Amino acid sequence: MSARFLDSFARPISYLRVSVTDRCNLRCVYCMPAEGIPLLGHQDILTFEEIEQVVRVAAGMGIHKIRLTGGEPLARAGLPELVRMLAAVPEVDDISMTTNGHLLPRHADDLAAAGLDRVNISLDSLRPERFRALTRNGDLERAWEGVRAAESAGLTPVKLNVVVMRGFNDDEVVDFARLTVAGGHHVRFIEVMPLGHNDLWAEDGFVPVRQVREQIESALGPLEQVGPDSPAAGSGPARYWRVPNAPGTIGFISPVSEHFCAGCNRLRLTAEGRLRPCLLSDAEVDLRGPLRSGKDEAELKALIASAIAGKPAGHRLGVGERAVAREMVQNGG
């Protein structure tokens, strides 16, 4: 593995989230306005070759974990080919993907064969009608088919991502936690974040993970902490717990109520080639222009280094404050 590249606060930067498209087949209430967004043209998004070039240079700087996001990444045609290209980069040792699961039954086997290691699947309700309302046109059974397809293809451990919103799905957190006992699933509860149009970002809609955990423990008893060697524990910000003796785990991701900025190890590349040092900041470095003007790898490395150097110590958001103008679907999560 290449030497680690440190930011200005001595944090090793090892993780790059790559958005491959701003398109999505759903319209989740916290992610995109009901009317959608102005979409990028085909010529505006990075080609697979351009993405591979960025990843290859970043990998030489110590970034060895790649996560593909969107939008819905499987809305982009030919995604297994991109996975195959990235898997061929010698320093990259982990490739994962976040998806809503609806298209996974058709692609899971090809993705696994190309070199994808595992997937996270967004699943914000266990009730079909509520799921359809939260996603505006999603099908809960199709999402579960995606979960089963990922498990069958070996894209494991499959993690279920739940964005908790008061008055929308906060009454289901215990039901989700029970999935870790009965089905051995890995469930992660995520605080809603202040991005774009998101009107759920207000004191009456925000649920801190502390309250989620209290609700679970009130129903199921004290949770026990999961060690870093657990297969479910990755390099991300989630802290993992489990119901005693449960085969699955419960993760908590608290970007607002309990900042994890001090340990942040990631950058984000948007679909149009903007490198973002922090999700909750509008600061970004353009890579698409230099890529298309023929800049060499040394110059590209310098631009990536500038993004890393510009990574802030952390954000200072409080409940009710809005962070960035971009919608979640445009940031790559």
Query: Which residues face 15 on adjacent strands?
Result: 65, 266
For residue 246, the model assigns a pLDDT of: 97
How much is the mean pLDDT over the chain? 90
Q: What does R_g of the chain's alpha carbons equal in angstroms?
A: 19
pLDDT tens by residue, 83-118: 999 999 999 999 999 999 999 999 999 999 999 999
pLDDT at 285 over 50: yes
Residue 199 pLDDT greater than 70, yes or no = no
- Per DSSP, what are the bridge partners of residue 256? none
0.85 exceeded by the pTM?
A: yes
Q: Quick check: 329 pLDDT over 80?
A: no
pLDDT 10s digits, 20-63: 999 999 998 888 877 777 889 999 999 999 999 999 999 999 99
Q: How many CB atoms lie within 10 A of CB 222?
A: 10
Q: Show the CA angle centred on residue 29, arms to residues 276 and 166, nearest 5°.
A: 105
CB atoms within 10 A of CB 12: 14
Residue 68 has pLDDT above 50, yes or no: yes
Q: Is the pLDDT of residue 192 over 90?
A: no
Residue 96 is given by DSSP the state E
**What pLDDT, on a 0 to 100 scale, did the predictor assign at position 281?**
79
> Does residue 273 surpass a pLDDT of 50?
yes
Strand partners, 162: 189
Can you read off the two tokens belonging to residue 22? 């701003």
CATH of domain 5-331: 3.20.20.70
